[in-house]
């Protein structure tokens, strides 16, 4: 793109005119967000000026500089220029840092729609800041991004952290455009192509060149591999001799053979002018073997959704087709707002369950993974029909026909979208696709701009007709696949039906629901649906009620992911970060005869598998544990389970499930207490209740969290013992010494006779803080002994300062009652009933990575909770979707959208 834009700037190319209503909507939404932010600033009494126009003219630059010199609080669309660089910043905001302008200076702020700030945005802000620095004689220290849906809470970026990268990118750009002979580049497809002005030109070039990306399903890794072997066109790939003459560095021989055959059939289709297809040999568990017996009650489902509506997107039309006495019926459940979206989801799930009473064998067919994903999201978002959907998923009621197609046939199409396949089974759509695309675009623009009333009735009709076509086409495809299946059987080829899934509620579920349903009802009885109308106490109860099911939602999502991965072929697992495919057995490198450690090689692939992770073989059977993995050597050592000692799978995937019963039970005890005693009363569960209500630290002598001129470490050590109950959050960006602060605070607490616990997501993190505590204790001559509940199987020996509770939790509590002052363990230790108030203070390390649900579950172990964390770190990886406000980390809950903790709400470590 840089080369094309540069050529356009030199006048060698004309920039294409590109009108995309979706892009226009994006632009319009961006503008609205910027205006809303400016209004928000004006409402605070800040003065503002708007620099008119869009170009960076001399006049606009002069007006901007004049406004900066005059000290206007907010300069909108400030025009900046310096040397060969120029730009228009959304907002220049006055700050109290002195500069050549006077007692003030400016920082840049950009209003962005993206939910996650991209590197390009920060680079843009670096450039604006540099240009601001030239005007005011001093470089701003920070710049901000104002993301949507955060009540305009800015994300602050310290410019010095990005300066080196900014310089490097600038130099690279100057090197690219500053030369007479620009480097040769090729328009390899990227995610930006869909919204790029140059897309028509680049697409034409790829077609003219017969580029490899035109082959359906080919990956960039495969393209790179093929290019290394001189295969640069789809035609060359189609003509590549089989079997493959080389051992691929990236991917497997099988996957390259698959794309070679795909290229061949596309070429044959191109040459003959008619869509060619061929059936693949059936593989057990895949393709046509996954088609269940058709049933009169079958349902064909399709969603229309827009991920840019509101904070979470909107599934604005849930359509399904079925037959009533053989006659086609279609229902389109429109959802133009949240309440209707929830109602549509519930109506559909209720419809399926009601219909299953008549047709117990029915299935819900869909094309691609979007529909079950959307149903799971809606279930999580609204916390409704959770067990009903879970039973449908476990019952394998949903059938993905895209997966069936992928594994059962090869067609001469560039993409396996249902529309491209329709010529195969002769489906003719009622709604014209170009009309439908325009109607979809207009409708989504209205939704994205929060103008549902502006949707044209004829657009709704067209979109509904389009959705009905998708549903009916899914049925036609299913019928055609059934006919192809029958042909194979007629030729004597065995094709099976899938086994039925589980039915009925899972074991123990009814009993669990009987226990928590009354608690949820009591906690939420008087809580308004609209969060804006809730008091802090009501919102805290609502959170607690919705957290009772948090672990079960996570577990369900873990199992759904397991079922999804189990259904993938080795070829598909190569594209999964949880998977590792193309395994070749090399040798046995250890273990025992019963449980050997086997070494396998694997081809280059992106996989997130680390030592210690539990592995399943392709298909889902328990295989063992990853003992070691070397990305340089491309080998993995797998410690086998005895049942799989002699098996050598072609692919594996990570699946781990540790039941979270102690945490669930701890939350039930907390909820029971709140139901009996109220959220704000009494002394028990003070830390949990303060956490839910976001109560500021209760410092017994009434002093500030940090005194004037006090160092953060000194403040932590001073106030630690002064908090007799409640929560103290300590936020520290990298390099500000969170562990150091924690170590000193714990030693001080021990010196004052307190019992202290440490919890974190992982044993290593806990150990790291324990080590720091011991280090500080040595330095300060603090008599202190620690105990850790280590990872199962630990063979480490105790030292004078550190013991291990290898057999049971009880060892930890006995030690705390004897001579140990500090104990470390995971949430499974501190959530148990025996741990209740066994400590004075519990430190949660890496609290930005520990879920609110788990921190609440462990909080019962102590009167006081200290959260150590950095919100810039990744959140705890969560599998499930949860109702708003319950799917976050403990620290994010307390920060409530703010980037930094307020001075009276916690301690901010601001010294590196």
Half-sphere exposure of 899 (CA within 13 A, CB side): 15
ω into 243 cis (within 30 of 0): yes
CA separation, residue 344 to residues 302, 335, 363, 747, 883 (Å):
13, 7, 19, 56, 17
Q: How many residues bind ligand SF4 (CB under 6 A)?
A: 10
Kindly tell me which of 182 and 591 has the beta carbon lying closer to ligand SF4: 182
**Least spacing, CB of residue 1 vs ligand SF4, in Å:** 4
**Least spacing, CB of residue 200 vs ligand SF4, in Å:** 8
| 174 backbone dihedrals φ, ψ, rounded to 5° | -65, -40
Kindly tell me which of 5 and 811 has the beta carbon lying closer to ligand SF4: 5
**Least spacing, CB of residue 186 vs ligand SF4, in Å:** 8
Kindly tell me which of 194 and 608 has the beta carbon lying closer to ligand SF4: 194
Kindly tell me which of 187 and 287 has the beta carbon lying closer to ligand SF4: 187
Kindly tell me which of 218 and 527 has the beta carbon lying closer to ligand SF4: 218
**Least spacing, CB of residue 311 vs ligand SF4, in Å:** 28
**Least spacing, CB of residue 577 vs ligand SF4, in Å:** 25
Q: Tokens standing for 395?
A: 């019952």
Kindly tell me which of 16 and 678 has the beta carbon lying closer to ligand SF4: 16
From CA 319, how far away is CA 461, in angstroms rounded? 13
**Least spacing, CB of residue 2 vs ligand SF4, in Å:** 9
**Least spacing, CB of residue 213 vs ligand SF4, in Å:** 10
Give the per-residue contact string, 192-231, with ligand SF4 (x = CB under 6 A; - = no).
xx--x-xx--x-----------------------------
CB-based contacts of 152, cutoff 8 Å, min separation 6: 36, 37, 40, 146
| 653 backbone dihedrals φ, ψ, rounded to 5° | -145, 160
The 10 Å CB-count burial string (b at 16+, else e) for 660-681 is bebbbbbbbbbbebbbeeebee
Find residue 728's DSSP bridge partners. Answer: 866
CB-based contacts of 271, cutoff 8 Å, min separation 6: none
Kindly tell me which of 121 and 739 has the beta carbon lying closer to ligand SF4: 121
**Least spacing, CB of residue 585 vs ligand SF4, in Å:** 42
Kindly tell me which of 9 and 658 has the beta carbon lying closer to ligand SF4: 9
- Residues 676 and 848: beta-carbon distance below 8 Å: no
**Least spacing, CB of residue 8 vs ligand SF4, in Å:** 11
* Binding to ligand SF4 in span 108-167, by CB under 6 A: none
Q: Tokens standing for 570?
A: 């080795």
* Binding to ligand SF4 in span 3-42, by CB under 6 A: 4
| 751 backbone dihedrals φ, ψ, rounded to 5° | -60, -30
**Least spacing, CB of residue 13 vs ligand SF4, in Å:** 11
Q: Tokens standing for 447?
A: 């939704």
CA separation, residue 209 to residues 140, 187, 235, 284 (Å):
48, 11, 10, 39
Torsion of CA 305, 117, 761, 816, to 10 degrees: -130
**Least spacing, CB of residue 201 vs ligand SF4, in Å:** 7
Specify the 3-state DSSP secondary structure of 266: helix
From CA 699, how far away is CA 718, in angstroms rounded? 10
Q: Tokens standing for 29?
A: 């939404």
From CA 310, how far away is CA 312, in angstroms rounded? 6
Kindly tell me which of 1 and 684 has the beta carbon lying closer to ligand SF4: 1
Specify the 3-state DSSP secondary structure of 61: helix
Kindly tell me which of 212 and 749 has the beta carbon lying closer to ligand SF4: 212
* Binding to ligand SF4 in span 176-195, by CB under 6 A: 187, 190, 192-193
Kindly tell me which of 187 and 757 has the beta carbon lying closer to ligand SF4: 187
Binding site for ligand SF4 (CB under 6 A): 1, 4, 187, 190, 192-193, 196, 198-199, 202
């Amino acid at each position: 793109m840089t080369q094309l834009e540069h050529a356009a700037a030199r006048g060698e190319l004309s920039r294409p005119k590109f009108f995309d209503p979706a892009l226009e909507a994006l632009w319009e939404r961006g503008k609205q967000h910027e205006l809303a932010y400016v209004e928000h600033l004006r409402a605070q009494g800040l003065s503002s000026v708007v620099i008119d126009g869009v170009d960076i003219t001399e006049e606009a630059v002069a007006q901007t500089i004049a406004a900066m010199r005059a000290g206007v609080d907010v300069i909108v669309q400030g025009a900046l220029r310096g040397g060969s660089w120029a730009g228009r910043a959304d907002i220049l905001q006055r700050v109290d840092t002195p500069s050549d302008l006077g007692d003030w200076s400016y920082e840049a702020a950009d209003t962005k729609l993206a939910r996650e700030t991209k590197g390009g945005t920060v680079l843009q802000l670096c450039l604006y800041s540099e240009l601001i620095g030239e005007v005011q004689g001093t470089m701003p220290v920070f710049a901000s991004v104002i993301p949507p849906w955060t009540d305009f809470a800015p994300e602050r970026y310290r410019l010095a952290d990005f300066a080196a990268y900014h310089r490097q990118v600038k130099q690279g750009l100057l090197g690219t455009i500053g030369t007479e002979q620009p480097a040769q580049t090729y328009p390899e497809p990227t995610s930006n192509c869909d919204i790029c002005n140059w897309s028509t030109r680049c697409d034409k070039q790829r077609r003219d060149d017969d580029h490899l990306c035109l082959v359906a399903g080919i990956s960039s890794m495969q393209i790179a591999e093929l290019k290394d072997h001189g295969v640069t066109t789809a035609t060359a790939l189609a003509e590549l001799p089989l079997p493959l003459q080389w051992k691929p560095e990236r991917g497997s021989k099988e996957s390259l053979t698959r794309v070679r055959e795909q290229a061949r059939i596309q070429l044959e289709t191109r040459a003959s002018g008619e869509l060619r297809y061929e059936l693949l040999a059936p593989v057990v568990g895949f393709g046509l073997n996954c088609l269940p017996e058709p049933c009169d009650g079958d349902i064909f489902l399709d969603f229309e959704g827009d991920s840019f509506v509101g904070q979470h997107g909107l599934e604005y039309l849930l359509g399904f087709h079925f037959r009533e006495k053989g006659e086609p019926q279609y229902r389109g459940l429109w959802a133009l707002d949240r309440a209707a979206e929830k109602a549509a989801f519930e109506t559909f799930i209720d419809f399926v369950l009601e219909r299953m009473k008549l047709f117990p064998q029915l299935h819900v067919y869909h094309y691609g993974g979007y529909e079950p994903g959307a149903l799971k999201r809606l279930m999580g978002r609204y916390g409704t029909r959770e067990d009903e959907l879970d039973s449908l998923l476990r019952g394998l009621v949903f059938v993905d026909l895209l997966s069936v197609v992928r594994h059962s046939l090869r067609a001469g199409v560039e993409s396996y979208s249902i529309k491209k396949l329709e010529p195969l089974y002769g489906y003719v759509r009622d709604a014209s696709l170009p009309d439908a695309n325009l109607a979809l675009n207009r409708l989504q623009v209205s939704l994205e701009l929060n103008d549902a009333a502006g949707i044209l009735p004829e657009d709704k009709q067209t979109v509904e007709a389009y959705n009905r076509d998708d549903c009916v086409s899914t049925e036609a495809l299913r019928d055609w696949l059934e006919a192809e299946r029958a042909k194979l059987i007629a030729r004597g080829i065995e094709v099976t039906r899938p086994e039925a899934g589980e039915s009925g509620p899972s074991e123990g579920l009814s009993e669990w629901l009987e226990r928590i349903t009354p608690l949820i009802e009591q906690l939420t009885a008087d809580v308004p649906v609209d969060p804006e109308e809730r008091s802090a106490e009501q919102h805290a109860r609502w959170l607690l009620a919705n957290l009772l099911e948090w672990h079960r939602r996570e577990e369900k999502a873990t199992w759904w992911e397991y079922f999804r991965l189990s259904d993938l072929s080795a070829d598909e697992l190569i594209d999964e970060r949880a998977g590792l495919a193309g395994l070749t057995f090399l040798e046995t490198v250890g273990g025992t005869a019963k449980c050997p450690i086997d070494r396998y090689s694997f081809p280059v692939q992106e996989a997130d598998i680390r030592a210690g992770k539990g592995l399943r073989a392709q298909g889902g059977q328990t295989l063992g544990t990853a003992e070691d993995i070397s990305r340089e050597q491309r080998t993995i050592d797998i410690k086998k389970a005895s049942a799989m000692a002699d098996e050598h799978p072609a692919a594996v995937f990570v699946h781990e499930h540790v039941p979270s019963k102690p945490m669930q039970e701890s939350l039930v005890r907390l909820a029971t207490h709140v139901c009996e005693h109220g959220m704000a009363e009494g002394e028990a569960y003070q830390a949990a209740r303060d956490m839910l209500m976001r109560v500021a630290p209760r410092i017994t002598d009434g002093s500030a969290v940090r005194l004037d001129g006090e160092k953060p470490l000194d403040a932590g050590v001073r106030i630690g013992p002064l908090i007799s109950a409640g929560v103290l959050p300590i936020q520290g960006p990298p390099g500000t010494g969170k562990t150091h602060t924690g170590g000193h605070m714990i030693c001080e607490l021990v010196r004052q006779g307190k019992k202290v616990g440490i919890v974190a997501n992982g044993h290593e993190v806990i150990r790291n803080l324990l080590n720091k505590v011991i280090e500080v204790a040595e330095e300060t001559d603090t008599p202190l002994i620690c105990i850790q509940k280590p990872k199962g199987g630990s063979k480490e020996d105790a030292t004078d300062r550190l013991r291990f509770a290898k057999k049971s939790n009880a060892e930890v509590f006995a030690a705390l009652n004897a001579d140990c002052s500090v104990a470390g363990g995971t949430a499974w230790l501190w959530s148990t009933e025996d741990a209740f108030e066994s400590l004075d203070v519990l430190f949660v390390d890496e609290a930005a990575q520990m879920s609110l649900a788990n921190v609440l579950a462990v909080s019962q172990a102590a009167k006081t909770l200290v959260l150590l964390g950095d919100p810039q770190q990744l959140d705890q990886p969560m599998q499930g979707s949860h109702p708003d406000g319950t799917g976050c980390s403990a620290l994010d809950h307390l920060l409530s959208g703010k980037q930094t903790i307020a001075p009276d709400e916690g301690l901010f470590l601001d010294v590196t």
